[in-house]
Structure formats: C-alpha cells, structure tokens
Amino acid sequence: MSDIKSIKQRFGIIGVSPLLDRALEKAVRVAPTDISVLVTGESGVGKEAIPKIIHGLSHRKHAPYIAVNCGAIPEGTIDSELFGHEKGAFTGATGARKGYFEEADGGTIFLDEVGELPMPSQVRLLRVLETGEFIRVGASRANKIDVRVVGATNVGMLEAIKNGKFREDLYYRLNTVEINLPPLRERPADIHLLFRKFASDFANKYHLPPVRLDDEAVRLLEQYRWPGNIRQLRNLAEQMSVIETSRLVGKDVLKAYLPQVDASNLPALANTRVSDGVSNADFAKEREALYKLLFDMRAEINALKNAVATGEGLYEGMQREYPKIGNELSTNERPEFGREGQITFVDNEQYEDFNEDENTIEIENLSLVDKEIELIKKALDKSGGKRKVAAKELGISERTLYRKIKQYNLE
C-alpha cells in the first residue's frame, strides 16, 4: 500500500477508493513488462494517467512517450499520421515523413480512443503488435520497430466487435491486460477530495481564495451521478472559483451548477421491443387498461371501507367512486343493510340471516371476475350476439371483448 501512496504522490493522483487502488496496482505490476495494455472506463475518468504510470515505471522511461487521440484524426490521414508516408504517396506528400510509431521507437505510444480506428488502420496496428513491423503509406518494404502500445477506450469493445466496427483478433491482442478505471459515482469518498484539489489549483491560478463547500453542499456533491466524471468536476470547480463572490458555497448555490440534479438515478429502458405479434400501440393500450383496472379496484376498496366505517349504503358509495359498475348492477344484486351496520347482498330475493350477537359483515357474490362475466353475457344478450355492438355497450374494444370471451369460455 505504501507503494501505491508514493505512486499517487509522484503522478498527482487523488483518491482513496479501493477500485482506484486496484487499477493502480495492476498498472504497477505490468509496467516492467512489454505486454500491451487496454485501459477502459467512461469518458472523463482520467484514463490518460495509466499509460504515464506504465511508461514511467518501465525500462522505457528514458525513451519517447507519445500520446495520440485516434478519434481526432481524420480517417483519410490517420494511416499517414500513425505509420508515416513516402514522397508522392498521395497528393501533397512532397517528402517522406515519419509517423508516430517511428517517433516512439524504443518507448511507449498511447492510443487514446483506439475503438475509433478505421478498419484499414486496425489491420496495420495488428501487424505492429504481432510482428513489430509496419509499412509506411506508399512504401513497399516493412520496417522493424520496438514500441510498447497502450490503448484506451470508453466504448463497449465487445459490442463494437459484434457490430463489425472493431476486429476481434486486434481486441484480444491489444487487451493482453485490461485496466478498468471506475466512474466517479463509484468513488464517493474521492469526490470532495478532488474538488478541494481543483479549487486550490484554480485559486492559485486566478489569485483568489479557494472555494469551500458547507456540509449540505458536500453531501449533494457526493450524491450527484457525475456523467462527465472528473472532467465535469474540474470544470465545476473552475466555474465556481471564477463566478462566486462568496468563498463558502451552500447547497442551493451548488444546485445551479449541477444539471438535472433532481433527476432520478434509475436506469431507463430504451428501444423496447414487443414480440409475439403484439404491436407497441396494442401494448400501450393494454397497459393503460391495466392501470385503469387497478385504479378502479382501489376505488371499490375505498367504497367498502367507507361503508364499513360509517354504515353508509354500499351501493350508493360505489356509485360515487365507480359509477359505471354501479349502473350495471341489477336491483337483485344491490346491497341491503341490517342493524348495527351489518351488510349482505340480496340475490334472487334470498336474504342472509344477520348475526345479532357479533358485528360481522357477510358479503356474497363480490368477485370482479363473476361481475365481468355477467356483464359480458348481458351485453351479448342485449345485442343479439353482435360483438361489435356489445363491445361498444361495455366501453371496451372489440378485440378485448373477443379475448375475454375466449378467456371465460363464453363462445
């Protein structure tokens, strides 16, 4: 652990997260070797620090270290930039030129955003990794080179391979050792430490006292998701250092600098696919119908509770809460009330005996399924078996009515 502390001090790394320490330990272990390394992690987590550590602790530390952003070089010139070109290789090539790999000979080359490399460049890179040889653009002979390759990416490489955007053989050749840097939201204990470091740096830069946060602001800072990770936190510290006149910042002021600070942290479903022959529109309709049924059931339960608590007529209460069901009930099914608030349903004019010794409630024939079946039968009888007319009478779609008929075997 003392080695990790010294590494942090030497390379200016701030943090006490075990996930960060694990990544640094792997970097220290692979540094003395010449194997290729792939650094993964979200954008803004500080992936560029890992290749510097690997180079600085390797036997190549006195040789060149070159960092290349592959995503910033146009596709038409990237081969020339990486591997060089000969005179006359293309329009404007007035002389031979070394590429980044030749310039890094004997040292380390860091290929940031390596997942953005075009396919022809991936083939050339694979040859360098496997044989240590490369060919300049426009040349006919290969050149030997001794260079350590460290790549970094914030894209899902396996998904890129599946989509045909990255070569599988190159991925496994480049990814001899993978070092993953955790996002800032998984390092809550490091967030305030980093903010204080950035605030101190910008205070020195702009000759101002450093910005500080009160306790509530610190809690808000640590609870935020930080989609831009360390880069976003650094920009926040710089903005506050320049703009805020008060050097002690509270929660309300901090909120103004954090976009969507009250947004939910729950993941969202995207590109939802509905199978089994059901369209998205049908799925939405079924979902809305389900929601309506749940709300209606809640209304009926509330009506029952009111009737029990107050002795109010159950039928009248249900009519207020759920008028459609109330209107469909026949007179033979409406509830009657006995003494002391006891309730029973009348069915075919057969009454249940009341229990005069106990304040009990006897409710019969209150099944929603039974009521639904009965309403469907009545609507079909009334329409003479015409399902379209019956569906309109019930206030549902014909397709839903057809499904209910099959479900309850009402053919």
Closest CA to 106 of 147, 150, 55: 147
pLDDT at 320 over 60: no
* Section 368-387 average pLDDT: 83
Average pLDDT of the chain, as a whole number: 81
The pLDDT tens digits for 209-231 are 999 999 999 999 999 999 999 99
What pLDDT does residue 291 have?
67
The pTM of the full predicted model, rounded to 2 decimals, is 0.62
56 vs 292, which has greater pLDDT? 56
Residue 261 binned pLDDT confidence (cut-offs 50, 70, 90) = low
pLDDT, residue 260, reads 74
The count of C-alpha atoms lying within 13 angstroms of the C-alpha of 96, restricted to the half-sphere facing its C-beta, is: 7
Q: Is pLDDT above 90 for 405? A: no
**Rounded Cα distance, 365 and 316, in Å:** 18
Task: List domains and CATH numbers for the chain.
Answer: 2-182 (3.40.50.300), 185-255 (1.10.8.60)
Q: Is 38 exposed, middle or buried (0-12, 13-18, 19+ CB in 10 A)?
A: buried
pLDDT digits (tens, 9 = 90+) for 166-187: 999 999 999 999 999 999 999 9
pLDDT for residue 307: 64
Instruction: Tell me the pLDDT band of 89, cut-offs 50, 70 and 90.
Output: confident
Position 364 pLDDT exceeds 50: no
Neighbours of 129 (CB within 10 A): 16
| Chain center to CA of 167 | 26
* Residue 110: predicted pLDDT: 97
- pLDDT above 50: residue 24: yes
pLDDT of res. 319: 53
Q: How confident is the model at residue 347, as a pLDDT?
A: 45
| Predicted pLDDT at 139 | 86
pLDDT score at 201: 95
29-40 residue pLDDT tens: 999 999 999 999
Nearest C-alpha neighbor of 212 from the set 254, 179, 174: 254
Calculate mean pLDDT across residues 153-169. Answer: 93
Read off the pLDDT band of 10 (50, 70, 90). Answer: very high
The backbone torsions φ and ψ at residue 38, rounded to the nearest 5 degrees and listed phi first, read: -120, 120
Min mean pLDDT across 240-244, 334-338, 378-382 is at: 334-338
